[in-house]
Amino acid sequence: MNVPAARPSGPTPPGSVSVIVTVLNDLRVARTLESLLGQQRIPDEVIVDDGGGSGEVQRITEGFTGRDPRVHHLSAPGNIPESRNAALAIAHGEFVAFLDADEVAPPEWLTELLRPFADPAVGFTGGPTPALPESLRTVGARYYDGYLRRFYDVVARAHPHALPMGNSAWRAAVFRQVGQLDTTLYRRAASEDQEVAVRALQAGWKGVYVATAGVGHDFSDISAWRLMRKQRIYAEGGFVVWRRRGATYEASAGRVLPYIALPGLVVAGVLLALPALTRSWGEALIAIGGFGLAALALGLTVWGWRLDRTYPGLRYSALEIPRRWATLLGAFFGLLHYGWSGRRMPPPKLRSPSGKP
């Protein structure tokens, strides 16, 4: 196995860049590596951060190493923050950029992503991750693409801690100052990138959104159901970050109240409709809640159609209703598992002698 050497004790070469590609048994990594070797600014090293699998990722990486010795394979089993921490420990660059195995970087990507570091106060940068057009195969994928395009323009531009780590670049000095990624946020791992960005901002570093540093994201595995599942996972980690760090970029009472109150009316109506004495009250609440949800879906659809030309896919904005429900469910599980402080640690999963849960 071709493993990069440990970080040298001497000075880091000025301007050098390590790119860490996070992968878990995803053969699309070959396309990602191809795009990295085609950069205008070739990385000084590429670390394929392999979280485990069948060995195919290592085989693919070794093929690229034969073409360019700057490409290395690193066996780093564990969840995403554990695996990335292992790669950070051996990265040589003054700057460290991150890509995921389902992303493809255009030739100018790394040049654009590094440009803001001319300001010594900038600690990290990040760019958008729009879908590869050929991967938009489902309604869920099309909506998620439109949602993300608007998210970067409206939210991430103003709140850099919202930028995902997959398509970001960091000064290595930031991690030496604030520490590595938090591995305790959620057992499945989520929002560790948001948490370390908050620490960096609180330490005085700047974060910069770079609209011109976009990468193509493969959404061929995204369906409406998988989108909701992904959102629930993110929300559990996001709840813990909020309670530990006091930082969020989406949650507010006004933004979530309709998604709680309207289904709450329906549930209360169903309960009241069971006894004959309160049946009429229950039926009235069911009707109010049902009509309210229909009106909300219609309003979201009209709003989405108005924005669809700028953000294609937002015509399906009625999916925002189950997405918000998934967010609330994830936050509830975060409260259940970590407590209101976000610091109560769940018991570790028991493992058999084979190492399996």
Residue 182: CATH number of its domain = 3.90.550.10
Same domain, 199 and 315: no
| Residue 310 maps to a domain | yes
> Any long-range contacts for 269-273 (C-beta under 8 Å, 24+ apart)?
none
Same domain, 92 and 34: yes
CA distance 237 to 194: 9
Same domain, 299 and 194: no
- Which residues have CB under 8 Å from 43's CB, separation 6+? 17, 18, 19, 36, 70, 93, 97, 110
Q: What pLDDT does 1 receive? A: 40
Same domain, 206 and 282: no
The predicted-structure confidence for 3-44, as pLDDT tens digits, reads as follows: 444 444 455 678 999 999 999 999 999 999 999 999 999 999
pLDDT < 50 regions, the chain: 1-9, 350-357
Q: What pLDDT does 120 receive? A: 97
- What is the model's pTM? 0.90
Same domain, 189 and 289: no
Same domain, 48 and 110: yes
Choose the final residue of a domain: 219, 251, 286: 219
**Domain range for residue 72?**
17-129+164-219
Residues in the chain: 357
Same domain, 198 and 249: no
Contact 29, 51 (CB under 8 A): no
Number of domains composing the chain: 2
| Residue 356 maps to a domain | no
Q: What pLDDT does 10 receive? A: 53
| Residue 330 maps to a domain | yes
Bridge partners of 75, per DSSP, are 50
DSSP class per residue in 216-281: EE--TT--HHHHHHHHHHHHHHHHHHHHHH---SS--HHHHHHHHHHHHHHHHHHHHHSSGGGHHH
Residue with tokens 């989108």: 227
| Residue 3 maps to a domain | no
Same domain, 61 and 173: yes
Same domain, 252 and 319: yes
Bridge partners of 20, per DSSP, are 47, 98
Same domain, 212 and 230: no
